[in-house]
Amino acid sequence: ATVLILNGPNLNLLGRREPAVYGRETLDAIVGRCRTRGAALGLTVDVRQSNHEGDLVDWIQQAGPEVGGIIINAAAYTHTSVAIPDALRAVGLPVIEVHLSNVHAREAFRHHSFISPVADGVIVGLGPQGYDLALEAMARLIQEAKT
């Protein structure tokens, strides 16, 4: 199966954006890490990033039959978007929410996520490794959905 890994606004700047909060790893490096981990788990990964909420909605809607699940770091849209969780609900695939930083240790406005209620699980605060962990969990969710 393919796992769609969606990344929201400003994550294209990873590596130079607030390294004390988000670390030094670039989005390209995260893409590489996801490909490697995915291959080890027998999954194809399709990693995308957009600064535009509508792109994320379109990509969720366009998920074809080859897509077994969605891993999403909606970045700031996590805390503002109704359209993204609505789209996730509409497609009905397994969803894992990831955040690099521990959003609960940060400003109050980052404590609420519109994505979490539609997610099977949430991984926060573990940096880029969160994507590896999400892929491992997703492999199991996809397996379970088949049986």
Active site members? 22, 99
What is the distance between the alpha carbons of residues 141 and 111, in angstroms, rounded to a whole number? 26
Which among 103, 82, 146, 41 is positioned nearest to 5, based on CA atoms?
A: 41
Confirm whether residue 100 is marked as ligand binding.
yes
| CB 145, CB 94: distance < 8 Å | yes
Answer yes or no whether residue 137 interacts with ligand DQA by CB under 6 A.
no
By CB under 6 A, which span of 23-31, 34-42, 45-53, 74-82 interacts with ligand DQA?
Answer: 74-82
Alpha-carbon distance of 121 to 2, in angstroms, equals: 18
Choice from 49, 50, 78, 81 touching ligand DQA (CB under 6 A): 78
Note whether 101 binds ligand DQA by CB under 6 A. yes
Per CB under 6 A, does 81 bind ligand DQA?
A: no
Q: Is 93 exposed, middle or buried (0-12, 13-18, 19+ CB in 10 A)?
A: buried
Q: CB nearer to ligand DQA: give 1 or 11.
A: 11
Q: Using the rule CB under 6 A, is 50 a contact of ligand DQA?
A: no
73 assigned ligand-binding residue: yes
